[in-house]
Amino acid sequence: MHLQHLILDSKATATKEQKVAALRTLRIVVKNLADPQKNTDPKYRQLKLSNEKVKAKITPCPSALDYMKSLGFVVIEENGEEYLRLQSSKTIIISDMEASLAELNNAIEMIAPKEPSFAEEKKTPEGIIIRKQPSSISTASSGSTTTGKMTEKQKARLLMEKKRQREAQEAK
């Protein structure tokens, strides 16, 4: 529910960039909590609310703070500093954190759809670059991959690969 408030901006008038920054910060926290090696370390179970980066990313979106509280974080004042802390006595359920991580990824995708990056490109042994399309754009007829503008050499390699695949199918 808190993510819905953050996405719809029902509690604050945060900009799209501020919402994405808050969601990305939440995603980092939840990702660390989903990691069994990190979730017991006190360092990953708290955020210092007076930290300039944390303040800049969380404060503009009060729903982000509410989301952290729904995960079990509490606001604690210690030595004049305010912390958002998950008590060490609180058991973290990895599957819940993984579900929260998926929710956060979906929320980020809703607010700021991701542009294809170099990481989503694969290069075949023949040197052909294959780009993955976002699932919302791909259709049944186009398949899950597409090729951009290809050089003559790349086209020839693609034809050779198709020929090898066809020959392998015929040999079976």
Quick one: pLDDT at residue 91?
80
| Cα 141 from Cα 137, distance rounded (Å) | 11
What's the pLDDT score for residue 135? 47
**What is the maximum alpha-carbon separation in the chain?**
75
The 10s digit of each residue's pLDDT in 94-128 is: 888 888 888 888 888 888 776 655 556 666 776 67
Q: What is the pLDDT of residue 133?
A: 54
CA 110 – CA 48 distance, rounded (Å): 28
Can you give the pLDDT at residue 143?
38
pLDDT at position 146: 43
- Taking only the tens place, the pLDDT of each residue in 80-90 is 888 888 887 78
**Which of the residues in the chain have pLDDT under 50?**
135-147
Count of Cβ atoms closer than 10 Å to residue 17 Cβ: 11
Do 91 and 106 form a contact (C-beta atoms < 8 A)? no
**Side chain identity at 60, as an amino acid letter?**
P
Q: What token pair was written down for 138?
A: 């791909």
Q: DSSP secondary structure string, 38-50?
A: TTTSGGGGEEETT
Residue 35 CA to residue 95 CA, distance in Å, equals 10
